[in-house]
Amino acid sequence: MYKSIIGCVLFISLIGCKKEKKEVKSEDATVKKTEKIVRQLNIGNMDQWEYKGIALTSTNEMFQNQDVYKMSIIDHPETYELVAVNNVKIDYTGGRYKISVLVKSNKENNNLGVRIQEFYPTRFDAVFDLSLGEVKGTFSNSDFTDNENLVLDPVGDGWFKCSITADIYSSYFRLAFGPTSVLKKEVHVWEAQSLNKKEREILIIPSSLIIEEIED
């Protein structure tokens, strides 16, 4: 009888311990880590960016009270097509940074290509599918970046907020971006010159392009 009572007590205690652990684990799962913005970097305005085979043309449209521009391929002698923000200076030892911009597909099967680059070919590439609303693929050839997090967030009327958050191990980087229609296996050459120039066109809000330093 005595042994039976002890056995029951131990059994009840064991059940109580398991339930408590499960509840703690469930509470931990609901905790979301929020990004703390340390500062926003100065990347200049669109007139200070570098253009290779691409033109930004103003439209009569606005979205979220910001001017909308058409980003399209033009006739040119270049071997690649992109817009670049050169020499983005960050902390000497690097850090965690978030790059975001508002874009929308203006033609069928058009995507946004983004490159975070140090000395070429040291880089991280990503392609956002603006028709399916998903990340088409990524490519990296070094440890220049790490812990990359890519998000394609729909914000209405076909627009997406595309963002890349990553640890960048350098004191500077070059940010390149532009319209592309590459296949998944071609992500590393998304900026290559296209034979179908008229098919590569997206809408973009230049003033929405932001680079922020995130607290680790």
* pLDDT tens, position by position, 77-116: 888 999 999 999 999 989 999 999 999 998 777 899 999 9
* pLDDT tens, position by position, 122-149: 999 999 999 889 999 999 998 999 999 9
* pLDDT tens, position by position, 36-62: 999 999 999 999 999 999 999 999 999
Are 60 and 146 spatial neighbours (Cβ–Cβ below 8 Å)? no
CA 125 remoteness from chain centre: 10
Query: What is the number of helices (H) and of strands (E) in the chain?
Result: 1, 14
Say how far apart CA 114 and CA 205 lie, in whole Å. Answer: 15
Of all residues in the chain, what percent carry a pLDDT higher than 90? 68
* pLDDT tens, position by position, 2-25: 444 444 433 334 334 333 322 323
